[in-house]
Structure 1
């Protein structure tokens, strides 16, 4: 296996839906734990409620991660707040609201702001959705409240936007050109197998299977000046493989494990940047 020329860079660790191997995904408890573990960044999915709030929920429907039923986009935030979003993961009694309450994007943004150290936030817009471009508009409005949608020249927002939808990323580029964007891929389209990306997209976001089957893809992306953020990397051997390939970030349900494995192999290795 030929390694990337920058293979000695230690990848940044991004907590997938928070420290979701330990705490219920997308709960405030999961994100606070990831920050305590030392994760470099947090990843979340956002969906728009019927009354215009962005909430951190992966699935279109709420059955898997709550004790309710229904479609997120057809429900109000008040309705979603009546459900328990943690007992599916922790069936025993737990009165900690941080592990039980639906999480709004605004609460997560304030958590990142108040973390006490720089923390990145990778926000995935979920498509298709009945609200189409309204999702991106609401996301920009939310980021604007923190001064993160239109970073000043020479600065970077702690937030970046990810999507499998090129159209979603195009909307973000048009409305907030200073924001970094990530094209998520479960397969690499033929036109981008040379390492290029759509105009304005900053980073490649391949699934682990892509870089496992085609490790030189990382090199090709780097040669075009882009970063590679790989999801979802949980097994220790896969974390090591990503480091050897020189990926820029690993997105993991187990940020503590990823940090430990990367630290174990970091002697003589460049700092994460």
Structure 2
């Protein structure tokens, strides 16, 4: 059965990468949750997609130039709806605590945002925290940056890793033989055009970002391991409808 990963939480219905978005993703029954981690100025793992806070808060500035205290002074929800005015940029620890508290038992896909700025030591901090917390749910590490995946492979060879890619024929061929990953996360645009290249592909495939029903149906028909969507509730409904037919 193709699994459904909530992209940045339930991003289409709640402010992305916030506790409310992750809570909603669990509430609707998502099989997995995807989130993004970066490092604050004081070396803490924080959950935010962009390298700046400009788009998803009422402030401005670069994530890596601000402490957690400074980052959490800003409103990370009102840009989406005033209903979420109390949302803050969460630390990764806060997200782990929430998921444990509400009984999440799916897969947590942690994207290390090192494609624009390669935060020194982020891999060690992340693995150390995961090993300390010992979450009951499955963890996957993912990144656009192959060097990050290589470093993760040296630190933690057991945890599954995925290479995120826009995709082309060269990367799909190369990824087949990249031993440190067990899966790829290609853009749906690329995935939808590459059916022949992906026949008998030996690793798990989890496209992003799949929001249209027709795109969801294609993923189900191709029997991918999972796909990332901003609308997990809608995707679950689509999967149930196909199963009933």
Q: TM-score, length-normalised on structure 1?
A: 0.84
Report the alpha carbon displacement of residue 108 of structure 1 after superposing the two structures with TM.
1.1
Report the alpha carbon displacement of residue 145 of structure 1 after superposing the two structures with TM.
1.5
**Aligned ranges 1:1-273 → 2 under 5 Å:** 10-90=1-81, 92=82, 94=84, 97=86, 100-128=87-115, 132-147=119-134, 158-188=138-168, 190=170, 192-193=172-173, 196-221=176-201, 224=202, 226-267=203-244
* Larger RCO (alpha carbons 8 Å, 6+ apart): 1
Give me the whole-angstrom Cα distance separating, in 1, the residues matched to 2:156 and 2:64.
24
* Deviations, residues 80-101 of structure 1 (Å, cap 9, x unaligned): 01100001101x3655x3xx11
Give me the whole-angstrom Cα distance separating, in 2, the residues matched to 1:159 and 1:136.
14
Report the alpha carbon displacement of residue 189 of structure 1 after superposing the two structures with TM.
5.5
5+ long unaligned stretches in structure 2: none
Give me the whole-angstrom Cα distance separating, in 2, the residues matched to 1:178 and 1:157.
15
Given that 1:230 and 1:249 are in contact with CA atoms closer than 8 Å, whether structure 2 keeps it comes out as yes
5+ long unaligned stretches in structure 1: 1-9, 149-155, 269-273
* Deviations, residues 58-81 of structure 1 (Å, cap 9, x unaligned): 001110000111000010000001
Give me the whole-angstrom Cα distance separating, in 2, the residues matched to 1:255 and 1:93.
20
Given that 1:187 and 1:206 are in contact with CA atoms closer than 8 Å, whether structure 2 keeps it comes out as yes
Any idea what SS the aligned residue of 1:265 has? helix
Given that 2:26 and 2:104 are in contact with CA atoms closer than 8 Å, whether structure 1 keeps it comes out as no
Q: TM-score, length-normalised on structure 2?
A: 0.93
Any idea what SS the aligned residue of 2:54 has? coil
Given that 1:211 and 1:217 are in contact with CA atoms closer than 8 Å, whether structure 2 keeps it comes out as no
Any idea what SS the aligned residue of 2:38 has? strand
Correspondence for 1:6:
none
Query: CA 1:61/1:192 → structure 2, altered by over 3 Å: closer, same or farther?
Result: same
Higher helix share: 2
Query: CA 1:122/1:93 → structure 2, altered by over 3 Å: closer, same or farther?
Result: closer
Give the superposed CA RMSD.
1.9
Given that 1:133 and 1:171 are in contact with CA atoms closer than 8 Å, whether structure 2 keeps it comes out as no
Query: CA 1:28/1:187 → structure 2, altered by over 3 Å: closer, same or farther?
Result: same
Query: CA 1:183/1:195 → structure 2, altered by over 3 Å: closer, same or farther?
Result: closer
Given that 1:218 and 1:245 are in contact with CA atoms closer than 8 Å, whether structure 2 keeps it comes out as no
Give me the whole-angstrom Cα distance separating, in 2, the residues matched to 1:22 and 1:197.
38
Given that 1:20 and 1:254 are in contact with CA atoms closer than 8 Å, whether structure 2 keeps it comes out as yes
